[in-house]
Homo-oligomer: A and B are copies of this chain.
Amino acid sequence: MSEVSIDNEPLVRFLNKLQPLSPAIIDFALKETFRITVKKNSLIDSVQENSKECVFFIIKGLVRGFILDEGKDITTWLTQENGLIGTIRNPGNTAPTYFEHLQAIEDSNLLVLPYSFIDKLYVQFPESNILGRKLLAIHYHMSQERSILSRIPSAEARYKQFKDNHPTIKFRIPLKYLASYLGMRIETLSRIRRRAKLNS
């Protein structure tokens, strides 16, 4: 395996920034992970069985997480290129109240990291626990931002914070998904956007 092909792997580049990876870990990861493509609007589940047993690295595209609350679809998570999305296992005992579904909202290329691979990684390469710890801290912060975002009383301030944190994807997300993510009605989001355009 040539240096160039390793360096081309977007996941390896992403992880190397957090924690330098040994060639043995990179080899192992290239062997045990694989790519899938998911068409726009498809559920990840329809392409990858047992998607709850995996984490996905987005090579290209945009994926949302959503829950169904009494039939209502609420977007709870949005991840674009070079981000991870998927079920994060809970070592505590509390079962999550809601199941989060994953859906591509653009044609997407994903790298699949099965938990079976991640578990082997932690055992065979103990230093990968440092990487796991750092990744989970990053996920914590993204979740924390989502959690704080939704508690800001002003709809306008929520949209502004989202725009500031995600400058490149705000026009790639269908209005109905973004509105539920921001906890506002579609009409409110449209009005805020029109006003923002007039003022820019």
Contacts and interface: CB of A to CB of B under 8 A. Distances in A.
A98 interface: yes
Nearest to A185: B153
Contacts of A126: 126-127, 129-130
A89 to B, nearest CB: 6
Nearest to A164: B97
Contact of A88 (B74, B129, B141): B141
Interface stretch (A3-11, A22-30, A31-39, A64-72): A64-72
Interface stretch (A41-49, A108-116, A142-150, A187-195): A142-150
B183 A150 contact: yes
A172 interface: no
Number of copies: 2
Interface string A129-166: 11011101111110111111011111001000100110
B183 A96 contact: no
A51 to B, nearest CB: 17
A179 to B, nearest CB: 11
A160 B185 CA distance: 23
A2 to B, nearest CB: 29
A174 interface: no
Interface string A115-129: 000000010001101
